[in-house]
């Protein structure tokens, strides 16, 4: 079900496809090597450290700081209808980086490099097919389905 991930998905098949199922359920997950314990976000099936293929998902807090960002005006195919959009790279608290759109909880003018933010699972509500992603939101923002589950 990795085809659920992203407004446009180019990689429907992957060993970490459960990531999209977790995201749909409101969980933001990284991967952890069962052999050596090395963690990764974005998740990967095969350990970069010890090369073991035995991994498990673990929940990442999603908290982090803005490393950099840009407002993309000239959009590629499949994104014309949402342009312009602001893309950011986030340094995650538990290590690793995530790339995502800034969501509704943050005004464009308030975005600053270094600011604390929260990655939040999202569903494209307006689409009939299942499409999930995550967005960059104000610290403390929770997804409604997440908050009730916790």
Partner 1 sequence: MTRVGIVGVGHGVFGRRSDATVQELAFEAFRDALEDAAIDRDVIDASVIGSVPEYHKQRSLAGVIQEYLGLVPKPTWLTEVACASGSAAMRTAWMSIKAGVHDIVAVIGCQKMTELSTAEILALMGRVGEVQWESGFGTTFPGYYAMFAKRHMHEYGTTREQLLDVAVKNHFYGAKNPYALFRKEITREKAMESEEVATPFQVYDCCANADGAACVILASEERAKEISTKPVWLDGIGCATATMSVLRRPSLVGLPSAEKAAAVAYEMAGVGPEDVRVADVHDCFTIAEIMAYEDLGFCKKGEGGPFVAERQTYIGGKVAVNVDGGLKAKGHPIGATGVSMTYEIAKQLRGEAGERQVPDVDVGLTHNVGGIGQYCFVQVMKRD
| Partner whose binding site includes residue 76, from partner 1, Zn ion, none (CB under 5 to 8 Å by kind) | partner 1
6 lies in the site for partner 1, by CB under 8 A: yes
61 touches partner 1 by CB under 8 A: no
- Provide the 10 A C-beta neighbour count for residue 12: 12
Q: How many residues bind partner 1 (CB under 8 A)?
A: 37
Residue closer to Zn ion (CB basis): 47 or 120: 47
Pick from 101, 105, 115, 146: which binds partner 1 (CB under 8 A)? 101
State the DSSP H helix or E strand holding residue 20, giving kind and residue range, or none if neither.
helix 18-24
Q: Which two tokens stand for residue 90?
A: 């986030």
82 binds partner 1 (CB under 8 A): yes
Q: In this structure, are strands 29-33 and 39-40 parallel, antiparallel, or unpaired?
A: antiparallel
Q: Does 34 bind Zn ion (CB under 5 A)?
A: no
The token pair at 78 is 């499949």
- Compare residues 74 and 148 and give the one whose CB is closer to partner 1: 74
The single residue listed with the structure tokens 């990655």 is 119
**What's the rounded Cα separation, in Å, for the pair 47 and 89?**
23
Q: Would you say 75 or 149 has its CB closer to partner 1?
A: 75
* Candidate residues 1, 38, 45, 89; the one interacting with Zn ion per rule CB under 5 A: 38
Q: Are 98 and 119 in contact (CB under 8 A)?
A: yes
């Amino acid at each position: 079900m990795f085809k659920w991930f992203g407004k446009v998905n180019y990689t429907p098949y992957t060993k970490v496809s459960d990531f999209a199922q977790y995201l749909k359920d409101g969980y933001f997950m990284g991967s952890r090597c069962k052999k050596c314990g090395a963690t990764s976000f974005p998740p990967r099936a095969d350990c970069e450290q010890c090369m073991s293929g035995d991994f498990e998902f673990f929940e990442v807090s999603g908290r982090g700081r803005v490393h950099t960002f840009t407002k993309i005006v000239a959009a590629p195919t499949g994104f014309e209808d949402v342009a312009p959009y602001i893309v950011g790279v986030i340094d995650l608290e538990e290590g690793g980086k995530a790339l995502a759109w800034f969501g509704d909880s943050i005004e464009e003018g308030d975005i600053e490099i270094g600011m604390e933010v929260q990655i939040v699972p999202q569903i494209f509500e307006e689409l009939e097919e299942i499409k999930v992603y995550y967005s960059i939101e104000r610290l403390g923002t929770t997804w409604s389905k997440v908050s009730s589950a916790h």
